[in-house]
Chains A and B, each alone.
Chain A
Amino acid sequence: MELSGGEILIRCLKDEGVDYLFGYPGGAVLHIYDALYQQEDVNHILVRHEQAATHAADGYARATGKPGVVLVTSGPGATNAVTGIATAFMDSIPMVVITGQVPSANIGSDAFQEVDSVGITRPCVKHNFLVKDINKLAETVKKAFYVATTGRPGPVVIDVPKDITDPAIKIPYNYPDKVTMRSYQPTMKGHTGQIKRAIELLLTAKKPMIYTGGGVVLGNASDELRTFVRQLGYPVTTTLMGLGSFPASDPQFLGMLGMHGTYEANMAMHGCDVLIAIGARFDDRVTGKIAEFCPDAEIIHIDIDPSSISKTIVVDVPIVGDVATVLQEMNHLLKTSKKQPQKKAVEAWWQTINSWRAKNCMTYDHHSDKIKPQAAIELLHEITNGDAYVTSDVGQHQMWAAQYYGFEKPNRWINSGGLGTMGFGLPAAMGVQLAFPDETVVCVTGEGSIQMCIQELSTCLQYGLPIKIIALNNRYLGMVRQWQEFFYENRYSHSYMESLPDFVKLTESYGHVGMRVERPEDLKPMMEKAFAMKDRLVFMDIVTDQAENVYPMIMAGKAHNEMHMSPNCELPQSPERELS
């Protein structure tokens, strides 16, 4: 079978099992779009901005575990995609992005719509390729999927000059089943000796702590994690990226840790004597002050990427490997081990933890005459039975969604953690809804963030995506305002948005349903009404308490035991240092 380059590309996607391709056409990719037109296997989703194509593919990938695929044109198409590529890169999301390029002969001549896509994306991709020879095209696509989805996942860009996809040039098509690369062989299995050492250390712990992250979601290791945690009976916390990988309602779960983590999770981090980090990367939002991070702990770290280990915090027992594989081995060792956890000591540790827990750090004002954002999220949980796919944008609303939704399953909490990209939520929700047309998909957003990709309401209409948009409208760039309140003596420099659109009319003009909620008593009936409209996109513009802040909070440069608490909670509000 002889195919042109454009046909080969699409055929490769089909053979790779790609069902959705998120893209936007332009000159350099017209041959590819023509090939797309003549087939029915790969569904193309036409977004309204290339940034949204990358976020949609990213959301699809986070929800399904399969790589998201994007097609954009050269020049501005590629530069528009960069934010989404960087977003996926920071959170290790598998993605393949095909960018058109000017014809090979014109590269370097400042041709129309030419940018050095390989150069621009280099620092924010796992790898990228420039295709120089049509005979290498299929193999390059295979390599791109292989690199994107194995090891520590990440986005891969394939830059395809226009002449490579010329319909007049046809070659035999052959998509390799497998590819091996001498320069790339990720380690899956952990070192057995290190795993044994880790188990021994874990069983000596008097105040153990399990700190897990996005790697558990990425490595599809929730089952293994649950077995591990239950076998040991130790407390567990997750990062923002790990939410859902361990059920939030489980008594062993202490909630999220870090800057906006719970009192009990952060205090347990500070006080622990053995810490095991599983698929987490010791991000600065998590560690707080490095010098006082887990001061008494010996640390074990499982990560598939050696460069994540001892990058910011030096660890005692490094284990390079895939979380699921390593945890399976650990679970087996624990099951067959003669030694048991230090029962008495661990019981005492749980008592201490439960006394921290009893302080109820997440409480908020339940008697306000304004809509509390926390209450809106709790209600969302109730109405969706805690079973929705929740995407979010970036800001206070993101933290409240993370803190108050209570995720029971992995792949359901979809947010931009590492890059913190406003504008992520709505397009990501499109990717999720396409992957799971029958599931409830919610986008929790702010009136600031939603305006960064609002144009995608049009895409949602075209493809009939019944996303529920929960906009916590505080008339502020709330997270910025919060920092200005705390660190800049209430000088709210440009964190206030005047002239907000009428979101109800705006949504209606895009062909969807809009609602505005202003009073607490209206929230429940209206939200129920919104979620009852199964086949419509509903935008709920919820007017929330403008002055609300995200608590607890560890201020920059402070340690885990120096949290700033909510005024509603019985702990001292100012960061009084607690001795553990």
Chain B
Amino acid sequence: MRHIISILIENEAGALSRVAGLFSARGYNIESLTVAPTEDPSLSRMTIVTTGTERIVEQIIKQLNKLIDVVKLLELTDGPHIEREMMLIKVKASTMAQREDVKRLADIFRGNIIDVSPTIFTIELTGSGDKLDSFIDSLAEHKILETVRSGASGIARGDKCLHV
């Protein structure tokens, strides 16, 4: 099962390596990890996507909570939540037909073309991981030169908040 865990962690040097080290030392899966400071610069917000049985995920959560730098933790997949990932993708678009088709696909997926060269389009696309996967699939006829994905960020729906 796929689980999304949100963490508020002290914005200290080394805090990220404590989390990353925990996953590697204990052999837990990590699909993606995103981190950046919050509106309170002393705190960072991390979103971790992991997979494992219920028991493993329970241990992951306990072990994360045990890290001294972790202030608060929420398992987003326990309740309704929103998940977004951002992708930047470079696609070959040198012929007129290619340029039109890529533009059309980007529009369908509500992507933005954010950089253009005579032979290349760079598209920015935000959505769930599945949506980004489908966009990549839809470009099967085209030549993808590069993709960069941010990994998922998540937030709970409604009143539920992760804050100190």
Which of A's residues lie within 8 Å of B, judged by CB? 118-119, 122-123, 126-127, 130, 132, 147, 181-184, 305-307, 309-311, 314
Residues on the B chain within 8 Å of A309, using CB: 62
A123 touching B21 by the CB < 8 A rule?
yes
Q: Which secondary structure characterizes the binding site on chain B?
A: helix
Residues on the B chain within 8 Å of A127, using CB: 68-69
Residues on the A chain within 8 Å of B59, using CB: 307, 311
A183 touching B69 by the CB < 8 A rule?
yes
B63 touching A183 by the CB < 8 A rule?
no
Residues on the B chain within 8 Å of A307, using CB: 59, 62-63, 65-66
B71 touching A183 by the CB < 8 A rule?
yes
Q: Which of B18, B21, B58, B68 contacts A310 (CB 8 A)?
A: B58
Residues on the A chain within 8 Å of B25, using CB: 123
Q: At the interface, yes or no: B14 with Cβ under 8 Å from chain A? A: yes
Residues on the B chain within 8 Å of A118, using CB: 14
A182 touching B71 by the CB < 8 A rule?
yes
Residues on the B chain within 8 Å of A314, using CB: 55
B68 touching A122 by the CB < 8 A rule?
no
B69 touching A305 by the CB < 8 A rule?
no
Q: Which secondary structure characterizes the binding site on chain A?
A: mixed
Residues on the B chain within 8 Å of A183, using CB: 9-10, 68-71
Enumerate the 3 nearest inter-chain pairs by beta-carbon distance, A residue then B residue, closest first.
Answer: A307-B62, A127-B68, A183-B71
Q: How far is the CA of A305 from the CA of B55 in the complex (A)?
A: 16
Residue of B nearest to A305 (CB): B66
B13 touching A130 by the CB < 8 A rule?
yes
Residue of A nearest to B8 (CB): A183
5 A-B pairs with C-beta separation under 8 A? A122-B18, A183-B10, A183-B70, A307-B66, A309-B62
Shortest beta-carbon distance from A238 to chain B in Å:
25
Which of B's residues lie within 8 Å of A, judged by CB? 9-10, 13-14, 17-18, 21, 25, 55, 58-59, 62-63, 65-66, 68-71, 164
Residues on the A chain within 8 Å of B70, using CB: 183
CB within 8 Å for A184 and B17 given contacts A307-B62, A314-B55: no
Residue of A nearest to B72 (CB): A183
Q: Which of A130, A305, A307, A314 has the most CB of B within 10 A?
A: A307
Residue of B nearest to A181 (CB): B68
Q: Which of B13, B68, B71, B164 has the most CB of A within 10 A?
A: B68
Shortest beta-carbon distance from A121 to chain B in Å:
11
Residue of B nearest to A126 (CB): B68
Shortest beta-carbon distance from A305 to chain B in Å:
7
Other than the given A118-B14, A122-B17, A305-B66, 8 more pairs (CB < 8 A) read A122-B14, A123-B21, A181-B68, A182-B71, A183-B69, A306-B65, A307-B59, A314-B55
Residues on the B chain within 8 Å of A182, using CB: 71, 164
Shortest beta-carbon distance from B82 to chain A in Å:
26
A122 touching B21 by the CB < 8 A rule?
yes
Residue of B nearest to A122 (CB): B21
Shortest beta-carbon distance from B86 to chain A in Å:
29
Q: How far is the CA of A181 from the CA of B68 in the complex (A)?
A: 9
Q: How far is the CA of A118 from the CA of B16 in the complex (A)?
A: 13
Residues on the A chain within 8 Å of B164, using CB: 182
